[in-house]
Chain A
Amino acid sequence: MIAFWILALLMIASAVFTVTAKKPVYSVVGLLANFVCLAALYLELQAEFLAVIQIVVYSGAILILFVFVIALLSSGVRPFDVGPNRAPHILYPAIVIAVLALAGMTVSALRTPVAVVQLPVGQTGDANAFGSVGNFGTALFTTNLLPFEVTAFILMVAVIGVVLIAGDEDPTTGVVRRRKRPGAREPIVKSEPTIR
């Protein structure tokens, strides 16, 4: 009970930090905290497999990808920093409308009770308990086999797309696309030490 409120506060704080941080690296740290808290919430909701996936895929793979891209981009000319807000003159009315909408959503969510199906007592930790790896795998490979194959297809399309978009060579013509970035630093060439 108290764990939920602590985790909820941590998640909201880290989400706000992610969105308001000045530099993308700080945002990544905030997002990492958010994902770890979310994994803990998944554990509390008895979604063990999803908690592990959350840590491995999100915190492990996606965030590392973000860090790599930030390191790649900020090695260049100017710091990869943030400009001012996009539309300052509509900021305050937008904030008012958004907070009202959020309050409405939250209150209606809290006012609508959801009937909870009780799980059998003492089943937690069992190999086939609700949300365990066995339970999830059985559901994934029997009733939901098609969605599983669709995920495999999506990942393959993503890999091919990334290579097509960001690869050095145009795969249809074999032409190397890499060209010098305007304003990029010259590589530092060590001159021979002069002997006086």
Chain B
Amino acid sequence: MSVAPENYIALSAVLFFIGVVGVISRRNPLIMLMAVELLFNSANLALVAYARAWANNAGHIFAFLVITVAAAEAAIALAIVAVTFRRTPFVDVDEVSALKG
């Protein structure tokens, strides 16, 4: 590998940071979900970089598991968004407070 693995890990950290900022600061549920996808992808990048550095493909298996979980999460979360939006049209996750105690 021509690039040292530390660089991949640093890139993964930067992407994770951008994703966290997106989840925290945006109010649109769809963009929050996309920021969550960014988080999954930065974790995957770190897994694959370490898998290559140690020539051990357990990291690939784990990244595969993460991709599957991300697909399931996106499907269920988007279904929840669609159902909630059908009930009351909202653009702000703070408006949805039906489960508030």
- Give Cα A70–Cα B75 distance, bound, in whole angstroms: 13
Q: Are B28 and A82 in contact (CB under 8 A)?
A: yes
Q: Which residues of A contact B24 (CB under 8 A)?
A: 86, 94
Q: Which residues of B contact A66 (CB under 8 A)?
A: 30, 33-34, 74, 78
When A and B form their complex, what is the total count of cross-chain residue pairs whose Cβ atoms lie within 8 Å? 234
Q: Are A114 and B76 in contact (CB under 8 A)?
A: no
Count chain B residues whose beta carbon lies closer than 8 angstroms to a beta carbon of A: 73
B: residues with CB less than 8 A from A are 1-11, 13-15, 17-22, 24-28, 30-31, 33-35, 37-38, 41, 44-45, 48-55, 57-58, 60-61, 63-65, 67-76, 78-83, 85-86, 88-89, 91-92, 94
Q: Are B81 and A73 in contact (CB under 8 A)?
A: yes
- Give Cα A38–Cα B45 distance, bound, in whole angstroms: 8
Residue from B18, B74, B82 in contact with A16 in the complex, judged by beta carbons closer than 8 Å: B18
Not counting A15-B38, A181-B86, a sample of 13 additional A-B residue pairs whose C-beta atoms are within 8 angstroms of each other reads A15-B15, A28-B34, A31-B37, A65-B75, A66-B33, A69-B30, A72-B82, A76-B85, A144-B61, A151-B68, A155-B71, A158-B75, A162-B79
A: residues with CB less than 8 A from B are 1, 4, 8, 11-12, 15-16, 18-19, 21, 24, 27-28, 31, 34-35, 38, 41-42, 44-47, 49-50, 53-54, 57-58, 61-62, 65-66, 69-70, 72-73, 76-78, 80-83, 85-86, 91, 94, 98, 101-102, 105-106, 109-117, 119, 130-131, 135-136, 139-140, 144, 147, 150-151, 154-155, 157-159, 161-162, 165-166, 178-179, 181-183
Q: Are B67 and A27 in contact (CB under 8 A)?
A: no
Q: Are B31 and A161 in contact (CB under 8 A)?
A: no
Beyond A80-B28, A109-B10, A158-B75, is A117–B18 a contact (Cβ under 8 Å)? no
- Give Cα A46–Cα B52 distance, bound, in whole angstroms: 7
Q: Are B25 and A73 in contact (CB under 8 A)?
A: no
- Give Cα A44–Cα B1 distance, bound, in whole angstroms: 8
Shortest beta-carbon distance from B44 to chain A in Å:
8
Q: Are B91 and A80 in contact (CB under 8 A)?
A: yes
